[in-house]
Amino acid sequence: MVPVRPGPRSDPPGPRRGLASQHAYRNSGTGNVARAPARGWSATGHDVLLGSRRPEERTELGLPVAGLSETAAHAEVLVNATPGTVSVELLRSIGAPARAGLPLIDVGGGLSDDFTQLAHPDSSLAEEIQEALPLTRVVKTLCTMDSTAMTAPDALDGPSTVFLSGDDAEAKRTTGRLLTDLGRHPSSQLDIDGVNTARGQEHFALLFMGIVGGLGAHTFNIRVVTAPAPGGDAAARSRLPDRPADAR
């Protein structure tokens, strides 16, 4: 998990500005998925802290690292980037349940540790976290792509889609602004509704692995495209998301 806190910013006013002035983000975990967005947020002026079970051993990540409980205690936004098979117990153990109203962005994967089957076949990690921590506001996102595509969408050969699932509209707005700070334009962000829709994102992991086999590469993403609407392109475009949860 990675928490973050706002830092001084010198860049021009833009969609990132409000976020940077309002939030601190903390990531639990110190792996690829914790580090990649943390670097992106740090570069856009956020105060980021990685949470580790062994912070004393994580001295060469180029980002500040603390123990998990300390990380959770001071987060304005908490990001879960730990193995999906252990996340619920980990979050319980670090006191996240006591943080009423804390937005928790869950990026955890939906597969078993050997990547062969769904870890939550009739549910999702995000739903289990929301059930275990009812005072937090869970938003599932980013788990449908690899850590490179998460933070460098412009490196892909065209625009692509990122999904948001969660029950709390404000937490989704916060998440949407953070995604914008990772270079994901609001037009690429699709709110697919409540936290129960997270299972769609997580179960996509099976197809993700199939695509990996077909392409021989992990760095790709999917894009939602629609049929042209009667009335022309403008009408068709109007059905595409132009912002995350804020319209709901």
User: Is 91 near ligand NAP (CB under 6 A)?
Assistant: no
Q: Cβ 206 to ligand NAP, closest distance in Å?
A: 13
Under 8 Å CB-to-CB from 178, ≥6 apart: which residues? Answer: 19, 23, 25, 37, 41, 77, 105
Q: 162 near 142, Cβ under 8 Å?
A: yes
Q: Which helix (H) or strand (E) holds 35?
A: helix 32-43
Residues 164-193 as x/- pattern, contact with ligand NAP by CB under 6 A:
------------------------------
Q: Cβ 232 to ligand NAP, closest distance in Å?
A: 37
Taking residue 231's Cβ as centre, other Cβ atoms within 10 Å add up to 9
Site for ligand NAP in 23-52 (CB under 6 A): 29-34, 52
Site for ligand NAP in 115-154 (CB under 6 A): 143, 146-147
Site for ligand NAP in 49-88 (CB under 6 A): 52-54, 58, 81-84, 86
Distance in angstroms (rounded) separating the CA atoms of residues 117 and 104 = 25
Q: Cβ 168 to ligand NAP, closest distance in Å?
A: 21
As a 3-state breakdown, the chain gives helix, strand, coil percent values, each rounded to 5, of 40, 15, 45
Residue 209 or 236 with smaller CB distance to ligand NAP? 209
How many degrees, rounded to 5, is the angle at CA 77 between CA 86 and CA 151?
A: 80
Distance in angstroms (rounded) separating the CA atoms of residues 178 and 81 = 15
Residue 2 or 20 with smaller CB distance to ligand NAP? 2
Q: Cβ 76 to ligand NAP, closest distance in Å?
A: 21
Q: 7 near 24, Cβ under 8 Å?
A: no
Determine the interface stretch with ligand NAP among 38-46, 102-110, 221-229, 235-243 (rule: CB under 6 A). 102-110
Residue 20 or 33 with smaller CB distance to ligand NAP? 33
Under 8 Å CB-to-CB from 88, ≥6 apart: which residues? Answer: 125, 128, 129, 132
Residue 27 or 180 with smaller CB distance to ligand NAP? 27
Q: Cβ 57 to ligand NAP, closest distance in Å?
A: 7
In degrees and rounded to multiples of 5, residue 196 shows phi and psi of -65, -20
Residue 63 or 169 with smaller CB distance to ligand NAP? 63
Task: Please identify which residue in 107, 171, 178, 192 interacts with ligand NAP, judged by CB under 6 A.
Answer: 107
Distance in angstroms (rounded) separating the CA atoms of residues 125 and 130 = 9
Q: Cβ 2 to ligand NAP, closest distance in Å?
A: 10
Q: Give me the residues that bind ligand NAP (CB under 6 A), please.
A: 29-34, 52-54, 58, 81-84, 86, 90, 107-109, 143, 146-147
